[in-house]
A and B are shown apart, each in its own frame.
Chain A
Amino acid sequence: MNARAEAFTRCGSAITTNALTKTFHGHTVLQPTHLEIASGEILVLLGPSGCGKTTLLRLIAGLEQPDGPNMIRFDGEDVSALPIEKRNVGMVFQSYALFPNMTVAENVGYGLKVKGIRRKQRESETKRLLALVGLEDYADRRITTVSGGQRQRTALARALAIKPRVLLLDEPLAALDAVLRERLRVEIGLLLREFGITAVYVTHDQAEAMAIGDRIAVMQRGRIEQIGAPKAIYHRPANDFVADFVGTMNRLEGRVSDGILAVDAEHTQARLRVGGGDRSAVVCFRPEVARLTAGPGAIRARVIATTFFGATQRLVAEVAPGRQLQLDLASSLHFAPGQIVAFDADPQAIIEFEKDA
C-alpha cells in the first residue's frame, strides 16, 4: 500500500476560508464561516439537507462565487475569483457527472487530455489509476454499461487523475444501495488517506461521516454548529442539535439536588446520579451507556418495544406517557412490553446542556 502511495506526489493544499459568506437573492445560505483545513486532512461537512454544506463545498470548488473577495485561500493563495476550471480541484459529484459518450478509461483520462498531456503518458497514467480503484478490466467499457459502484470509482479515479490540490466529494455514495455504500465508505476512507490529499466530503449520513472524516463539521441553517474529531463530536456534542444529528440521544429534564437529577415522571421513579451542585438541568446520554441496575437512584421506565440488532437490542421505554428513552442492552436479556426496567447511565458519559440551549 505504501509503495503504491509513493507513486503519487502528495498534492494536498491547505484550505482557509475567511468569513466565507454566500447570499442567494437576499437569502443568506452560508453565514460567515471560518475554516482551517490542514494539508492532507479529510474534513466531512455533515448536516441535514438545506444546511449549507453543499453550498460551502461548491464555493470551495469554484462552482459558486462567494459574496466578497479574499474569502477562500489554498495554501495562502487567494483563489476566490478563480472559476473551477482554473482551481485544479478534483470533484466527485453525487450523480457522478461521468460522460456517457466516453468509455471508463476516456473518462479517467479526460482531465489529462485537456491538460495537453501526450497520449502515451496519458494512457499509462489512466491505467495506473484504474488499477488503483480496481477497474483495470473495465477500461474500454462504456460508462452506461458499468454498475453504480464502478461508476462511483470511475468518478473518483477521474478526479484524482489531474493531481488536484484538493479533492471535493458531494455525497458520493448517496446514489448507491446500503450494502455497497457501507463497503465503499471504508474503501474511500482508505484511498483518501493513501493519497494524503486534502479532502472535503459532504454527506448527510452520520455513520459515513464518522468512518471517513479526520474531523467533522456539523452544519445547520448555514452555519457550522461544531467542528472536531468524530469521537469528540459523538461523545461531547456542543448542543442538542449536534447530539441528535450524530446519533440517538436520550434527554431528561429536571432539578438536580445533591448530585441527583429528579425527573418529574408520572408513575415511575426517575433519579439519575449526575453530580455537581443544585440546579435545573437537561441531561443527555446515548442508548449504549445505559446499564441495568438493581440499586436505588435508578430510572424506572416501562418497556414499549424491543428491536433485535444482533449483539444488542434496543429498548424503547417511557418514563411517562410520551416521554420515551432508548436503551441498548445485551440481546441475551429478555424484556416483555409493559415490564418495568430499572437502569442508570455511566456518569462519565452523561452530557449536560444548559436549559434551552
Chain B
Amino acid sequence: MGLRWTTLAGFAITALIALFLVVPVLLSVYAGLSVNYARGISAGFTLDWVRQVWSLYSDTVWRSLIVALMTLALTLLIGVPGAYALVRRGGRFARIVEELVTLPVAIPGLALALALILAYGGFGAFRQSTLFVVVGHVLFTLPFMMRAVIAILETIDWRTLDEGAASLGSPAWLRFFDVILPNVRPGIVAGALTVVTLSIGEFNLTWMLHTPMTKTLPVGLADAYASMRLEVASAYTLVFLIMVIPLLIGLQLAADLTEKRTKS
C-alpha cells in the first residue's frame, strides 16, 4: 500500500507542476481568441486578433524561419567540420578553442550584441541586413552544434574508421563524407534540433541587433506586448505556437527517421 500512496502522490505532484506550466500558455491562447479578455467568456470568441497579428507581423514569422534556417546552415558548415577538426587535433589547444567557442553562451546576449554593433555597426548594409541577426545567432548557437557532434565523435572510433577508409585509397575529404559524416549523424541531428529551437526563440541578442526592417518573431512579440492591447499580443503567442510546435514535431520525426535508417 505504501508504494501505491507514493505513486499517487507522484502523479499528483507531476500533474500540478504540468498544470502550473501549461495553464499560462492555455490562458494566453484563450486571451488571443477572446473578444474581450477582461469581460471573460460572455464576450464571445473571435479570430480577428489573429488576423490582425498576421497582417501586421507575418513578415516577422517568415524572417524568423529564414534566420533559423540560415543559422542552421552556417552552424552545420562551420560546426561539423570544426568539431571533427578539434577532436582530430586533440590536446590543450583544442580544449582552449572549444572553451572559446562556448564563451558566447555564458556572456549575456546584450553584451554580445553590443560588441557586434561596436565592431560592425559601421558597415551600413551589413548592419541593416537580416544577415547581421544571423551572425549573432550563429555565435550563440554554434557551441551547441559543436558539442553535440563532439559528444558523438567521442563515442565512435573515428580514427580507426578514418584509417580503414584511407587504407582503401580514399583521400581525406572523401573519408570525411563517406565514413565520418554518416556515423556522427545522430549528433548532427541533435545539434540541429537545438540550434533551430534556440534561434527561433532567441530574443535577448536579437532585440539589440535588429532594425525596424529586421524584426524576428520574438522581437515582434515584445513589440506587440508593449504597444498593443492584450488580446493582440496573446494572439501573437498563438501564432508562435502554431508555427513552432509543428516545426519541432517535424524535426523530431525527421530525426527518428534517420536514426531508424542507420540502425536497421
Contact = CB atoms under 8 A, between A and B. Distances in A.
A257 interface: no
A355 to B, nearest CB: 46
A89 interface: yes
A324 B262 CA distance: 57
Interface of A: 61, 63, 83-86, 88-91, 93, 95-101, 110-111, 114-115, 142, 144, 158-159, 162
Contacts of A61: 167
B182 A159 contact: no
Given A83-B166, A114-B168, A115-B169, A95 B262 contact: no
A97 B161 contact: yes
Contact of A93 (B156, B163, B182, B264): B163
Interface in B161-179: 161, 163-172, 174, 178-179
B165 to A, nearest CB: 7
A85 B164 contact: no
Contacts of A162: 168-169
Given A85-B168, A111-B168, A114-B170, 14 more contacts: A63-B163, A84-B167, A85-B171, A93-B160, A93-B164, A97-B164, A99-B165, A100-B262, A110-B165, A110-B168, A110-B170, A114-B174, A159-B167, A162-B168
Contacts, number: 67
Main secondary structure, interface of B, reads: helix
A144 B169 CA distance: 23
Residue in B160, B168, B174, B183 with the greatest tally of chain A CB atoms within 10 Å = B168
A152 to B, nearest CB: 13
Nearest to B175: A85
B157 interface: yes
A355 B163 CA distance: 46
B5 to A, nearest CB: 45
Nearest to A159: B167
B157 A111 contact: no
The 10 closest A-B pairs by CB, nearest first: A97-B164, A111-B168, A101-B182, A91-B167, A97-B160, A85-B166, A114-B170, A84-B166, A114-B169, A99-B179
A111 B169 contact: yes
Contacts of A86: 169
B167 A95 contact: no
A85 B169 contact: yes
Contacts of B170: 85, 110-111, 114
A114 B183 CA distance: 18
B182 A89 contact: no
Contact of A101 (B163, B169, B174, B262): B262
B183 A101 contact: yes
12 contacts: A85-B169, A89-B167, A93-B163, A97-B160, A97-B164, A99-B179, A100-B262, A101-B183, A110-B178, A114-B170, A142-B264, A162-B168
A89 B178 CA distance: 19
B163 A91 contact: yes
Contacts of A101: 179, 182-183, 262
A175 to B, nearest CB: 12
A93 B183 CA distance: 18
A121 B163 CA distance: 25
B164 A98 contact: yes
Contact of B183 (A63, A95, A100): A100
A162 B183 CA distance: 23
Nearest to B164: A97
A33 to B, nearest CB: 22
Contacts of A91: 163-164, 167
